[in-house]
Amino acid sequence: MTSFSTAAQDAKARAEQSSTRIAFFIAGFSVASWAPLVPYVKQRMGLDEGTLGLLLLCLGVGSIISMPLAGALAARFGCRRLLVCSTLLICLCLPLLATISSLPLLIATLFLFGASMGGVDCTANVQAVIVERNSGKTMMSGFHGLFSLGGIVGAAGVAGLLSLGISPFAAMLIVVLLTLLALAKAAPNLLPYGSSSDGPAFAIPRGVVLFIGLLCFTVFLAEGAMLDWSAVFLTSLRGVEASYAGLGYAVFAAAMTLGRLFGDAVVKRVGSNRVIILGGLCAAAGLAVATLIPVWQAALLGYALVGAGCSNIVPVCYSAAGRQKTMPESVAIPAITTV
């Protein structure tokens, strides 16, 4: 009886780990599918870089508002419900972003898209912390590696579809279909509960949580620049055609994926502190190469260095957030993500 019970628990744990990986893949895939659309939105709406930057703030504002709420909602309703609802909203937004030409509607859609992204991102990390702790193993880099793998497939896949002459709207319909199929596979084994720790819906980070949040902030800033501006940078300043502009984010995501897929072993061998220091130096070098050497090949090399350098900093930080005792994890993880 004990052997049967243990086998059942192991099978359940493996299913939860698999669903967590799929959830991270969905997050990366759906979010990265937006990157190749940015030049098309810019061209369709007749926007300059300054106006486009202001519009993209709507996406960021949506994420900032939703992230603090996600931890509390996951604790109350469970990770499964929140991940499913947020993913469905992303699926609603992507076709709209590919077609709308009304400025007010674009603002509203970007806000909703950002809020949905924030919900998926925060809740997936809450689930990952719980699943990693239950396993007793280092798994966070691997989970985030699936996010990066989704980024490769999303950015390169959409760029490939667009280069074949497929319309942005049709490309987004394909993305939505694949996202829904993956969600249907993952949903049954997503956690029906969230963090059991008590705490307010949001709290100002303090102590070690504040330090972790600041580390994550620097990495999220670099990732956001790659997502929102790599395609525009390549088309506007390096002469790359719009249909191939998504390759910039794809190279960044590829380097990040490789770093994260091997990241758990690297963290064990090198240590968390060295991973953060060496990773930061590598990312800084990549940004310098991309911006200072005026050829598109150098930009791609720089994006690869940024991806490799940033790859394991955030997973290490989230693992630390799950272990710290300064704040409840249901509050700490949204607070770190929001910072």
What pLDDT, on the 0 to 100 scale, is given for residue 174? 96
Report in angstroms the alpha-carbon separations of 82 from 73, 113, 197. Answer: 7, 15, 18
In-domain check, residue 236: yes
∠ CA 140-146-152, nearest 5°, is 140
In-domain check, residue 108: yes
Query: From CA 52, how far away is CA 66, in angstroms rounded?
Result: 22
In-domain check, residue 1: no
Give the H or E element holding residue 190: none
Q: What is the CB neighbour count within 10 angstroms for residue 314? A: 27
User: Which residue reads 């190469």 in tokens?
Assistant: 289
pLDDT-wise least confident of 86-95, 113-122, 249-258 = 249-258
In-domain check, residue 160: yes
What pLDDT, on the 0 to 100 scale, is given for residue 339? 65
* Among 55, 41, 334, 37, residue whose Cα is nearest residue 209: 334
Helix (H, G, I), strand (E, B) or coil at 72: helix
Q: Who has greater pLDDT, 199 or 67?
A: 67
pLDDT digit string, tens, across residues 211-232: 888 888 888 888 888 877 888 8
Query: From CA 264, how far away is CA 266, in angstroms rounded?
Result: 5
Q: What is the mean pLDDT of residues 297-317?
A: 93
User: Which residue reads 């499964």 in tokens?
Assistant: 80
Question: Whole-prediction pTM value?
Answer: 0.81
Q: Who has greater pLDDT, 48 or 189?
A: 189
**What CATH number is attached to the domain comprising 33?**
1.20.1250.20
pLDDT band at residue 91 using 50, 70 and 90 as cut-offs = very high
* Among 264, 30, 259, 243, residue whose Cα is nearest residue 139: 264
Write down how long the chain is: 339
The dihedral formed by the CA atoms of 207, 212, 215 and 218, expressed in degrees to the nearest 10: -100
How is residue 32 written in tokens? 């990265």
What pLDDT, on the 0 to 100 scale, is given for residue 80? 94
Domain limits for position 69 = 7-338
Kindly tell me if the per-residue pLDDT of 106 is higher than 70: yes
Q: What is the mean pLDDT of residues 264-283?
A: 89
In-domain check, residue 208: yes
Q: What is the CB neighbour count within 10 angstroms for residue 292? A: 9
In-domain check, residue 2: no
The structural domain count of the chain equals 1
What pLDDT, on the 0 to 100 scale, is given for residue 227? 76
Query: From CA 176, how far away is CA 190, in angstroms rounded?
Result: 20
pLDDT digit string, tens, across residues 37-84: 888 888 888 888 888 888 888 998 999 889 888 888 888 889 999 999
Give the distance, in angstroms, between the CA of residue 203 and the centroid of all CA atoms in the same chain.
Answer: 23
Q: What is the mean pLDDT of residues 286-290?
A: 93
pLDDT digit string, tens, across residues 226-268: 877 888 889 888 888 887 888 888 888 789 889 999 998 898 8
pLDDT-wise least confident of 10-14, 276-280, 288-292 = 10-14
Which amino acid, 309?
G
What pLDDT, on the 0 to 100 scale, is given for residue 200? 60
What pLDDT, on the 0 to 100 scale, is given for residue 217? 87
DSSP readout, 85-125?
Answer: HHHHHHHHHHHHHHH---HHHHHHHHHHHHHHHHHHHHHHH
pLDDT band at residue 206 using 50, 70 and 90 as cut-offs = confident
The dihedral formed by the CA atoms of 314, 320, 323 and 329, expressed in degrees to the nearest 10: -50
Highest mean pLDDT, choosing among 4-18, 64-78, 174-188, 207-221: 174-188
What pLDDT, on the 0 to 100 scale, is given for residue 209? 84
Kindly tell me if the per-residue pLDDT of 281 is higher than 90: yes
Report in angstroms the alpha-carbon separations of 175 from 18, 250, 251. Answer: 21, 16, 20
What pLDDT, on the 0 to 100 scale, is given for residue 186? 95
Kindly tell me if the per-residue pLDDT of 185 is higher than 70: yes
Q: What is the mean pLDDT of the chain?
A: 87
Helix (H, G, I), strand (E, B) or coil at 308: helix
Radius of gyration of the chain (CA): 19
In-domain check, residue 239: yes
What pLDDT, on the 0 to 100 scale, is given for residue 201? 58
Kindly tell me if the per-residue pLDDT of 329 is higher than 80: no
In-domain check, residue 167: yes
What pLDDT, on the 0 to 100 scale, is given for residue 303? 94
Q: What is the mean pLDDT of residues 23-31?
A: 92
